[in-house]
Structure 1
Amino acid sequence: MTDNGGAITRDDVTPTVLPDAFLTSEFAQQFTEFHLPRYHELPTVNLYRDQVIGIVEQALAPFSDCIEGDLLTPSMVNNYVKAGLISAPVKKQYGREHIARLIVICIFKQVLSIQAIARLFRIQKLTYLVDVAFDYVATELENAVHTAFSLGDAPIPDTASQVTRESLLVRNAVMAFAAKAYLMGYLHYLGFDESNGKGKA
């Protein structure tokens, strides 16, 4: 801060585009219809890394203007294997479980450290099967995003059949992601994303 600037006036802090106008925009409306594929909708055949990256990018494409850094790169996939977040590919190919975990990593890394995601995965292994855990993430993410980008909608109750430590952690993580997506989307809509750099792991 320096003394060279003039005094801040009310006009400086008055938003030029109110949140209600943003939420009724075409940009925001796409999120009210967001659908994340369920586990059974993911490819059942093994795929090569570049194909997997394409599927993950397609699944999360609506958030391209609402995230920081690259969503997923070949080096990131390799690092997640080394960190034990996903299992090693078989003959350089990845299966449905790999894709599901990579989608979840790409969501959670926007609000959590890689170490925290690893802890969540360890808890998940003790509590739920991969398909059940992934479908819960997908449902809760859709609900959180729909609520965040809708006018006046109250949060949708937890969809877990039984609330557990893992379900509470996941629900809070996806709500944090939805809130961040809303903020980043609003800033993008206002034109404040010119310096949004790519390349963050």
Structure 2
Amino acid sequence: MDDNLELYEYSKKMSEAKLIKWCCLPKSPIYCDNLLQIVKDELSFMQIGDEKLITKSMVNNYVKWGMMPKPLKKKYERLHIAHVIVITILKQILPISEIKYGIQLQIVLHGKERAYDAFAEALEESMRKVFVPILQKQNTYVLDERRVDYDKLAISSITTSLSNKLLTEKIVETKIKKYNNLAKSQEVDYE
């Protein structure tokens, strides 16, 4: 497959990535299996191969480590779902210990609903800013200037870091495929 076409298709998907907003999270408590399915569905754009983005063990550890509230009678609410989505995304970039305090800080500053929606909006904006220039099909990659209020600087920085990481991984993956295909086509059978 042409690596530029593959990168273009990937960039199109990533630039259109959206996270569920707080108001659209389930209003009724759900069991862990439902929580896992929601998170998997929401973060499918980040899925690479067979890698598990989230498991029951991970959720149990997040509760045990105090990264999110304990479920009530084994049922999870909106706040739990939001925590798991954010943790799953941020652990791609930050150590778990820093994520806990970052989430707490954002909730203190903005409240749980606004903190989650602000994160979702920042991620969507970062994905567009990083991936849309690929869709321009120009010979140079041009990032638009970005203005960020200081109270959103941490969220903007981390979501931009994730977007850049995902782009870099895709570029490396496509270049490795191209190199491997080139190497295979140049192999000579001496038997």
TM-score tier after normalising by the smaller chain length: 0.7 to 0.9
Residue identity in the other structure for 1:179: N
The structure with the greater share of residues assigned to helix is 2
Instruction: For 2:107 and 2:115, locate their aligned partners in 1 and report how far apart those are by CA, in whole Å.
Output: 9
Q: Displacement, 1:146?
A: 1.1
2:92 partner SS? coil
Q: Offset at 1:44?
A: 1.1
Offset, 1:184: 1.7
| Structure 2 counterpart of 1:140, from 102, 122, 128 | 122
Deviations, residues 108-148 of structure 1 (Å, cap 9, x unaligned): 11110111011112312321111100111111100111111
2:144: which partner in 1?
154
CA 1:189–1:28: 2 relative to 1, 3 Å: farther
RMSD, aligned α-carbons: 2.2
Of 172, 186, 192, 2:171 maps to 186
5 Å-filtered alignment, 1:1-201, equals: 17=3, 23=7, 25-65=8-48, 69-151=51-133, 152-158=142-148, 163-164=150-151, 167-191=152-176
Residues 14-62 of structure 1 deviation map (CA, whole Å, 9 limit, x = unaligned)? xx946xx554x22221112111111111111111101101101111101
Instruction: Calculate percent identity across the aligned residue pairs.
Output: 29
Distance 1:97 1:155, change over 3 A: farther
Structure 2: stretches of 5+ with no match in the other structure = 134-141, 178-191
In structure 2, the residue matched to 1:13 is none
Query: What is the rounded CA distance, in whole Å, between the counterparts of 2:113 and 2:161 in structure 1?
Result: 22
- Single out whichever of 136-145 and 121-130 deviates more from structure 2: 121-130
Deviation at 1:150, TM superposition (A): 1.6
Return the letter of the residue paired with 1:169: A
Q: Count how many residue pairs are aligned between Structure 1 and Structure 2.
A: 168
TM-score, structure 2 length as denominator? 0.79
The question of whether the paired residues in 1 share the 8 Å contact of 2:26 and 2:78 is answered with yes
Q: Which residue type is aligned with residue 22 of structure 2?
A: Y
Partner Cα distance (1:54, 1:70) in 2: 12
8 Å contact kept, 2:107–2:115:
no
- Whether the 8 Å contact between 1:34 and 1:142 is mirrored in structure 2 is yes
Deviation at 1:91, TM superposition (A): 1.0
In structure 1, distance between residues paired with 2:173 and 2:68: 32
In the TM superposition, residue 188 of structure 1 has moved relative to its aligned partner by 3.3
Q: Distance in 1 between matches of 2:88 and 2:46?
A: 11
